[in-house]
Structure 1
Amino acid sequence: MAAISRSRRPLALAAAVAVALGAGALAVTSASAAEAPLKDYELTWGIKQSYRSYVTGMAAGSFTPADGATQAADNGAFTFAGGTGTYDSDTHAVRLGFAGSLKIASKLHGFDLTLSDVRFDSGAAEITADVTSGGTTQDDVPLADVTVTRTMTDMETKLTKEAATVLGSASYEGAAGDPLTVVQKTPPTQSPSPTGSPSSSTSPSPTASTSPKPTGSASSTASPSASQTTSPSASASETGAATQGDIADGTLGWGVKQSFRTYVVDGPAKGRITASGGATQASGNGDFTFTEATGTYDTDADTLKAAFKGAVNFKGHEANGSYGLDLTLSGLTVELDGGTGELTADVESLGKTSDDVVLAHLTAGSSDLKAEDDVVSLDDVTAELTKAGARAFGGFYTEGTVLDPVDLSVALSDDAQLPDDDGGSGDGSGTGTGGSGDSGTTSGTTGGGTTGSTTGGVTGALASTGSDVPTGALGAAAAVTVAAGAGVVLAVRRRRQA
């Protein structure tokens, strides 16, 4: 194999990722550099499909992933897991290194090389790897230039001169490589606890959805009512409860999205989360429980509409008393019809309120509403972010992102006992850290600082149109503070290791 050049030509990231939110432009800066740690990421890249076909075809060779790396079926793309690194809030650069190695060998054509220590740098817009061949290892060989996108999925790549040398053909220089995706790995969803507290779920890739989208919105038999008595004309079910009528009580367990909670409390936002008005948050920056449900149900028609009390506020990116992130969700309502429906909420962002925003499409595991001891309970209802919900989160996640699952329990009679009726889902104190101000927590608040709703001089929506900062796929990694009426200009810098 020819020697690989250790020099690296300057990289021009053509589009510096700017978005107009008004007439002007605002450069996102901070008083001092701040790097937030990142972990549990995966990088998927196939190098180049035609190269894979050549290796396993004409060259009669093989790919052997090891140490945690894998290859998709049918000679597919490679995935490197265990990604760790940092997010630089000054430059918005994401730097990640991944575990795993890939051996590429062919006795027929006489090559045997191994790629390891694969790295991705959004500031430098490149993929690098250590390349071992003939007993010699060269570190941080630039393999491809990357067109970095906001979601960090299916990013275009272009093979470098160094990659052409590694792959053994000058024709690969400047050729389009396979698309690159960098996402946060999804840990398994925890099952609901026996007491009925909401389950905790962590983020899948915010850019992909695995659940079917409902074909229509849910309908209900009647509007929500504060009355806690069942309809006089309703017939009795086998459990003694009416088959239709008014909901007497109920709770909603929902974490919104684990990666967003982590971003606010432990990530670059350095903020806090506050549950109030009857809502609580489980300890350890856990899920939220909304209470005192009112509404209507019809177990024969399998329809339900329930509104819940409580609010949750996400606040962060504080600068001189002003907050770039100040988002409150309240008035949560669930509508289901035959197992599908929607979750709505009133959304207040930086002082502006939008009522009844459809945040998520819901899909239950069963289309039947079955009452047991006068209680209807639905666990792990899939919640998929809507277009309106994506706007509510300022483009932090894209439409179709799978949010944390919803757990729902409603009482159909006054004397029905809800699961965990003593409020065991959490006292709202939280144990998260991070944020400006004193460390520790205030009752009902996760993260540092004090409670309250302070917008300071920052107005407008939460990053109302977003920017091409790689935030979506990062989960808790890389949202930026913006002000309405201003654009966002990202300064990107290039990193090369000596």
Structure 2
Amino acid sequence: MPARRRRSTALAAAVATATALGATALIGAPAASAAEVPLTGYELTWGIKDSYRAYVTGMAKGTFTPTGGAVQADGNGAFTFTEGTGSYDSTGHTVSLGFRGSLRIVSEAHRFDITLSDIRFDSGDAEITADVTRDGTTTDDVPLAKVTVTRGMKDMATELTKEAGEVLGSASYEGAAGDPLTVLQTTKPSPTPDPEPTDEPTGEPTADPTGKPSEKPTDKPTDQPSGKPTDQPSGKPTTPGEPAAPATRGQIADGTLGWGVKDSFRAYVVGPVAKGKVTVSAGAKQAAGNGAFTFPDASGTYDTEAGSLEAAFKGAVNFKGHASNGTHGLDLTLTDLRATLKGGSGTLTADVTSLGKTSQDVVLAELKAKSPRLTAKSDVITVNGIAATLTKAGATAFGDFYTAGTALDPVGLSVALKDGAALPGGSGSGGGTAGSGTAGSGAGSAGGPGPSGSTTGGLGATGDLTGGLAST
């Protein structure tokens, strides 16, 4: 199946290339010469991954330097490699192109120096490759991304490879979506505008209008009116006893908050690039295996009728790495975490200390719970799986390691409404417990700003976890 799909996408790209070359270039040629048609004047534009670019120029305080015909778009944008040459194989229906220009990626703070050169795109293999020079050693034709080849070769989806993760310094990049790829001929022959307007407009207008009007108008009016009136009125009358048992509002007696910040960030911190460590203190715990954190001793207020709570938690977590001459390129501490919810929405704030400078009450994330209601059972309110999205202020606090809007690890919290109420043991956003201790430096996968994912490990382990906090 993979081979068949690759061939079909390669054929689609080949058809587009044939169109760009002009019909006479292929049809009028003898069979022997039609097997390979030379191609010139192409450009390839690809940004690798936007969060990686933000990391290099932000937290890593590094630079991108394109040379030899390569350029970078303004605002730390994507890279374009020029003067692409190659061939179209009409027998295999593939396009193979190589491009001029190289890209050097340097960070003195995080101690890496990487050069990408001889960028190549092959529609048959559906991949981007490059020669990679690191520490004075060059490896040829390293596959950086798999490509979903399309007919127009514009904004093609890419998926970063295992090798890309090794080049970029984080195993978490493997399988992550890269930036879109565009391969275009800079000087198009006159026949090009004729076929493309007739092909693409006829296909897309027909599919979109018929699908969208017929599905959405019928689904939404039918589902939502019938579902919501039936669920909500029937649920509340049948359980009148539960809301009456605990108080509807008051002071929080105790509680815990579980949050892993972001699993790829933890992996980066404990990876071999940063060679740093994660340290929890003041009552906070970390789960085994570089897992999520638990912050204890909640205090605050709740109102189940309004569906609101405000809770502050004790404990601190410190991320430190990129040691050099007694200093660290990364030294980040989160303390005084506070969570608010009202009607299912809220915020997560913390005091943030980065490289000795403290900012109080930084709104790190916007929160979205699965339900707007807060229900107390046995005098405990538990809310798990709260989606957390990085804010602009949070992105700044993390040195633009990730961009605003990035999904962080989910948040879980449990608060006791009365003294002595039993909190769920080891519950929260992660689950699981482990003993205290310190793990060796360099444990875990290589670090770097990677894709979002679920929280690894669980709540409950105390101690330091040594690893690699990368400033890369």
Give TM-score, length-normalised by structure 2: 0.50
3-state SS of paired residue (1:310) = strand
For 1:95-174, what aligned pairs fall within 5 Å after superposition?
A: 114-116=124-126, 118-119=128-129, 154=179, 157-159=182-184
Query: Which ranges of structure 2 fall in alignment gaps of 5 or more residues?
Result: 1-34, 48-52, 64-89, 95-106, 134-139, 148-175, 194-240, 444-460
Deviations 1:182-216 (A, max 9, x none): xxxxxxxxxxxxxxxxxxxxxxxxxxxxxxxxxxx
Cross-structure match for 1:78: none
1:364 corresponds to:
369
Q: Answer 1 or 2: which has greater helix percent.
A: 2
Supply the AA of the counterpart residue of 1:285.
Answer: N
State the alpha-carbon separation in 2 of the partners of residues 303 and 130 from structure 1.
46
| Residue 324 of structure 1: aligned partner | 329
Aligned to 2:277: 272
The answer to whether the aligner puts 1:382 opposite 2:387 as a matched pair is yes
Measured in 2, the distance between the counterparts of 1:169 and 1:130 equals 32
Matched, 1:90 2:112: yes
Q: Is the 8 A contact 2:279 2:465 kept in 1?
A: yes
User: What CA distance in whole angstroms lies between the structure 1 residues aligned with 2:400 and 2:146?
Assistant: 35
Letter of the structure 1 residue corresponding to residue 113 of structure 2: T
CA distance in 2, matches of 1:259, 1:27: 20
The offset of 1:273, in angstroms, is 0.3
Conserved 8 A contact 1:276-1:310: yes
Of 393, 396, 411, 1:391 maps to 396
Residue 445 (structure 1) aligns with: 464
- Structure 1 residues 156, 117: CA separation in 2 closer, same or farther (over 3 Å shift)? closer
Give 1:2's aligned residue: 36
Compared CA separation, residues 326 and 355, structure 1 to 2 (3 A): same
* Alignment check: 8 A CA contact 1:252 1:406 kept: yes
Q: Closer, same or farther in 2 for the Cα pair 1:266/1:337, shift >3 Å? A: same
Cα distance in structure 1, aligned partners of 2:351 and 2:132: 35
Code of the aligned partner of 1:444: G
Q: Taking every aligned residue pair, what percent have the same amino acid on both sides?
A: 49
1:425 Cα offset (Å): 3.4
Conserved? CA contact 2:269–2:467, under 8 Å: no
Per-residue CA deviation, residues 46-91 of structure 1 (Å, 9 max, x unaligned), is: xxxxxxxxxxxxx9x999xxxxxxxxxxxxxxxxxxxxxxx99522
Counterpart contact for 1:283–1:426, Cα < 8 Å: yes
Match of 1:202 in 2: none
1: CA distance between counterparts of 2:286 and 2:412? Answer: 14
Distance, in Å, in 2 between the alignment partners of 1:125 and 1:155 is: 20
In the alignment, the residues of structure 2 paired with residue 404 and residue 381 of structure 1 have an alpha-carbon distance, to the nearest angstrom, of: 9
Assess, with a 3 A threshold, how the Cα gap between structure 1 residues 362 and 319 changes in structure 2: closer, same or farther.
same
Kindly report which structure 2 residues correspond to 1:412-491, keeping only aligned pairs within 5 A, or say none: 412-420=417-425, 425-429=433-437, 431=439, 433-434=441-442, 444-447=463-466, 479-480=471-472
Query: What is aligned with 2:312?
Result: 307
Distance 2:414 2:440 in 1: 27
1:282, 1:429 within 8 Å by CA — same for their partners in 2?
no
Decide whether aligned partners of structure 1 residues 125 and 428 sit closer, same or farther in structure 2, where only a CA change above 3 A counts. farther
Unpaired runs of at least 5, structure 1: 29-58, 64-86, 103-112, 132-150, 173-235, 436-441, 450-475, 481-498
CA distance in structure 2 between the aligned counterparts of 1:390 and 1:160, rounded to whole angstroms: 37
Contact 1:342 1:360 in 2 (8 A): yes
State the Cα distance separating 1:120 from its structure 2 match. Answer: 6.0
Report if aligned partners of 1:307, 1:332 keep a CA contact under 8 Å in 2. yes
SS in structure 2 of the partner of residue 91 of structure 1: strand
| Corresponding position of 1:49 | none
CA distance in 1, matches of 2:142, 2:432: 48
The whole-number CA distance in structure 2 between the counterparts of 1:117 and 1:2 is: 20
Deviation of 1:115 (Å): 2.1
Q: Label 1:391 to 1:374 Cα distance change in 2 as closer, same or farther (>3 A).
A: same
Superimposed CA distance per residue, residues 123-156 of structure 1 (whole angstroms, 9 cap, x where no aligned partner): 899988999xxxxxxxxxxxxxxxxxxx995456
Question: Number of matched residues?
Answer: 284
Q: For residues 344 and 116 of structure 2, what CA distance do their matches in structure 1 show?
A: 40
